[in-house]
């Protein structure tokens, strides 16, 4: 099960027509449901399920509300996979993030969404290339990334030994 | 491995963060350069104003620079662009967890054993951002301009 599947499964029944994919922009998911009729009603259903939908150019960019996001991040169990030559850098980065008890904030949510999309795509080299400088920048700005993100990455590493980071 | 070459070193360092103006250190010293092709090592001694001295070993190879410093504030650092390395920073009062995230790593050694090492890195201590550091080292064979 991919990391975004719980939200994907919650959203899919709410969108009667149109695709639902990972967003290549700032959102987490993107859908073209506004092209198929009653977009306000679909948006209202999505919002009542704990998401925000911003429509632009016929596409809806969807992210979870803070409470919904916190529920997924906080549900990530703590685990400590063994360190290998392949996962060394990502392991170290994820372990450091996992130590944080900070909540998701508007300042850090774009970073978290992007990291989750890499994780969902199982693109570990891409995740490390993105997250390493992003985490350094957040640290320089005195922003703390939520520990749940680090725990989700560690859990993924523990389930997918041998993936290169 | 080539014989050790005595070199004259100019070491310049700047420290700054978003809030504070930069602080700089300049040092002229002599050291030794050894190595060949893409494996180089420089040994030199830094003497502080209070006469406390520390030996520094710099190695350069395959795009990675390492620095080991002895003395009461001894440390080992690995600089590879885009990779955060963790280590510890020794002080007379105890050790601190240290992280180094380099944003610029460049070195060059010319045929005449002159060259440069340029590093820019973000330093964190105990998981908290400490400062951005820049280090510029220039060296040339001792006795030559």
Please report residues of A whose CB lies closer than 8 A to that of B129. Answer: 139-140, 142
ipTM of the complex: 0.73
Give residue-wise pLDDT tens across range B102-125.
999 999 998 878 999 999 999 999
Give residue-wise pLDDT tens across range A39-94.
999 999 999 999 999 999 999 999 999 889 988 888 877 778 888 888 888 999 99
Please report residues of A whose CB lies closer than 8 A to that of B86. Answer: 92
Average the pLDDT over A148-164 and give the result.
78
Please report residues of B whose CB lies closer than 8 A to that of A139. Answer: 122, 124, 128-129
Q: How far apart are the first and last CA of chain A?
A: 20
Q: Is the dihedral of CA A51, A54, A55, A60 positive or negative?
A: negative
Average the pLDDT over A109-115 and give the result.
95
pLDDT of residue A162: 42
Nearest Cα residue in chain A from B132 = A140
pLDDT of residue B143: 75
Asked if B18 and A140 come within 8 Å (Cβ–Cβ), the reply is yes
pLDDT of residue A46: 96
Give residue-wise pLDDT tens across range B27-81.
899 999 999 888 999 999 988 767 778 899 999 999 999 999 988 788 899 999 9
Dihedrals phi, psi of B46, to nearest 5 degrees:
-100, 130
C-alpha distances in Å from residue A29, one per residue of A36, A44, B122, B128: 17, 16, 33, 33
b/e per residue, A127-145, with b = 16+ CB within 10 A? bbebbbebbbebbbeeebb
Q: Considering CB atoms only, which of A96, A133, A139 is closest to B129?
A: A139
- Looking at the DSSP bridge assignments, the partners of residue B40 are B35, B60
- Looking at the DSSP bridge assignments, the partners of residue A55 are A60
Asked if A139 and B124 come within 8 Å (Cβ–Cβ), the reply is yes
Distance between CA atoms of residues A92 and A98, nearest Å? 10
Q: Decide: A46 and A30 in contact? Cβ < 8 Å.
A: no
Distance between CA atoms of residues A71 and A10, nearest Å? 14
pLDDT of residue B2: 62
pLDDT of residue A163: 46
Residue A101 contacts B where some CB pair is shorter than 8 Å: no
């Amino acid at each position: 099960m991919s990391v975004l599947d719980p939200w994907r499964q919650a959203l899919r029944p709410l969108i009667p027509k149109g695709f639902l994919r990972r967003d290549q922009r700032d959102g987490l998911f993107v859908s073209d449901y506004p092209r198929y009729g009653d977009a306000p009603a679909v948006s209202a259903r999505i919002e009542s399920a704990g998401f925000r939908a911003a429509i632009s150019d016929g596409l809806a960019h969807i992210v979870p509300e803070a409470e919904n996001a916190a529920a997924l991040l906080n549900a990530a169990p703590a685990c400590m996979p063994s360190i290998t030559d392949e996962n060394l850098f990502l392991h170290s980065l994820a372990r450091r993030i996992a130590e944080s008890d900070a909540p998701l904030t508007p300042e850090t949510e774009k970073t978290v969404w992007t990291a989750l999309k890499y994780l969902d795509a199982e693109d570990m080299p891409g995740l490390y290339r993105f997250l390493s400088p992003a985490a350094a920048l957040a640290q320089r700005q005195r922003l703390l990334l939520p520990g749940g993100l680090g725990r989700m990455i560690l859990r993924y590493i523990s389930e997918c030994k041998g993936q290169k980071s | 491995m080539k014989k050790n070459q005595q070199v004259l070193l100019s070491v310049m360092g700047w420290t700054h963060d978003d809030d504070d103006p930069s602080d700089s250190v300049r040092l002229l010293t002599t050291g030794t350069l050894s190595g060949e092709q893409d494996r180089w090592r420089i040994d030199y001694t830094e003497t502080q104003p209070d006469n406390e001295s520390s030996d520094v070993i710099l190695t350069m190879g395959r795009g990675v620079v390492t620095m080991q410093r002895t003395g009461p504030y001894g440390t080992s650092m690995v600089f590879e662009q885009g990779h955060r390395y963790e280590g510890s920073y020794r002080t007379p009062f105890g050790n601190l967890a240290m992280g180094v995230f380099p944003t610029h790593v460049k070195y060059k050694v010319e045929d005449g054993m002159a060259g440069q090492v340029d590093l820019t890195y973000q330093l964190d201590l105990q998981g908290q951002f400490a400062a951005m550091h820049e280090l510029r080292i220039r060296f040339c064979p001792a006795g030559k301009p």
